[in-house]
């Protein structure tokens, strides 16, 4: 399956089928998530209405980590197997991952001001998330820093693979060090520590962001593949 859709024509055919469904799923899940998160779920007994920031902040943070792991996997596939679509996916996904990371950092600051009394603290979780954002920016810069696209793609893929060590640091930073950031309350061995009325919008938003990512990354990949085809046709015309 991995190599079957290495052919751009097969990928484009699959993308044409998936794109409308993913768009509908993303829209429906995000609208439902915002409704339950902003209107139907109760305020927290300690955080009050500020808890509603969580419904954007937490799924955005999850997506920031998910996209980076996918980015590193694509980088490895490009370096090892020269998978023709791996680099296309990685370069299409990197700006989206940077956007999710920026959203997590911004919403975290908006939550931190009323809860902690400050917009930012240099604790392990926040600092490692900032490093993740810089890794995304570094990937994008490296991929576009060379006249030779192949060299840029290899350099960016290496950075993605090296930077993946930051993902477990982000995940376990609240367990390894003393931080202001609260520990995990959803993905726990003994079950979530959040009321179901709050879990519903959280999972709806997470599903909506995942569908949004897939829909947009497919759109960006299609645009890149079409641009390559146009460039190849122009070069062929000039050569002819």
Integer CA distances (angstroms), 17 to 14, 24, 195, in order = 5, 12, 37
The C-alpha atoms of residue 121 and residue 127 are separated, in whole angstroms, by: 8
pLDDT of residue 86: 93
The answer to whether the beta carbons of residues 92 and 217 sit under 8 Å apart is: yes
pLDDT of residue 191: 57
CA angle centred on 43, ends 42 and 49, rounded to 5°? 140
pLDDT of residue 107: 96
Domain assignment present for 1? no
Domain assignment present for 115? yes
Domain with 59 in it: what CATH number?
1.20.120
Q: Quick one: CA dihedral 199, 202, 208, 212, positive or negative?
A: negative
Domain assignment present for 89? yes
184-206 pLDDT, tens per residue? 666 655 556 677 888 999 999 99
CA angle centred on 138, ends 218 and 129, rounded to 5°? 85
The answer to whether the beta carbons of residues 128 and 169 sit under 8 Å apart is: yes
The answer to whether the beta carbons of residues 197 and 42 sit under 8 Å apart is: yes
Domain assignment present for 239? no
Strand, coil or helix: 48: strand
Domain assignment present for 199? yes
pLDDT of residue 196: 84
- Average pLDDT along the chain: 90
Closest to 86 (Cα-Cα) out of 21, 163, 11? 11
The answer to whether the beta carbons of residues 211 and 59 sit under 8 Å apart is: no
Domain assignment present for 240? no
91-139 pLDDT, tens per residue? 999 999 999 999 999 999 999 998 888 899 898 999 999 999 999 999 9
Domain assignment present for 4? no
Count CB-CB contacts under 10 A for residue 39.
Answer: 9
pLDDT of residue 18: 95
Residue range of the domain that includes 176: 19-233
For a pLDDT cut of 70, what percent of the chain falls above it? 92
pLDDT of residue 228: 84
pLDDT of residue 30: 98
35-68 pLDDT, tens per residue? 999 999 988 878 889 999 999 999 999 999 999 9
The C-alpha atoms of residue 89 and residue 139 are separated, in whole angstroms, by: 13
Domain assignment present for 96? yes
The C-alpha atoms of residue 186 and residue 118 are separated, in whole angstroms, by: 25
Report how many domains make up the chain: 1
Tokens (6 digits) for 110: 């908006």
Question: Does this model's pTM top 0.85?
Answer: yes
pLDDT of residue 6: 66
């Amino acid at each position: 399956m991995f190599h079957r859709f290495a052919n751009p024509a097969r990928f484009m055919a699959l993308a044409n089928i998936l794109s409308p469904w993913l768009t509908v799923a993303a829209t429906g899940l995000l609208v439902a998530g915002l409704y339950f998160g902003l209107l139907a779920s109760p305020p927290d007994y300690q955080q009050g209405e500020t808890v509603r920031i969580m419904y954007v902040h937490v799924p955005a943070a999850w997506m920031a980590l998910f996209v980076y792991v996918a980015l590193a996997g694509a980088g490895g596939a490009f370096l090892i197997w020269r998978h023709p679509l791996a680099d296309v996916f990685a370069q299409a996904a990197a700006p989206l991952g940077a956007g999710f990371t920026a959203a997590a950092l911004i919403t975290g600051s908006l939550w931190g001001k009323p809860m902690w009394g400050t917009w930012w603290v240099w604790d392990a979780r926040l600092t490692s998330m900032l490093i993740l954002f810089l890794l995304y920016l570094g990937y994008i810069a490296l991929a576009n820093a060379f006249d030779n696209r192949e060299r840029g793609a290899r350099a960016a893929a290496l950075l993605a693979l090296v930077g993946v060590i930051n993902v477990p640091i982000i995940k376990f930073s609240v367990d390894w060090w003393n931080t202001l950031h609260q520990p995990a309350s959803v993905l726990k061995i003994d079950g979530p520590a959040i009321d179901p009325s709050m879990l519903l919008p959280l999972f709806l938003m997470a599903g909506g962001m995942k569908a949004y990512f897939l829909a947009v990354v497919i759109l960006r990949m299609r645009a890149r593949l079409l641009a390559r085809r146009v460039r190849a046709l122009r070069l062929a015309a000039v050569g002819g």
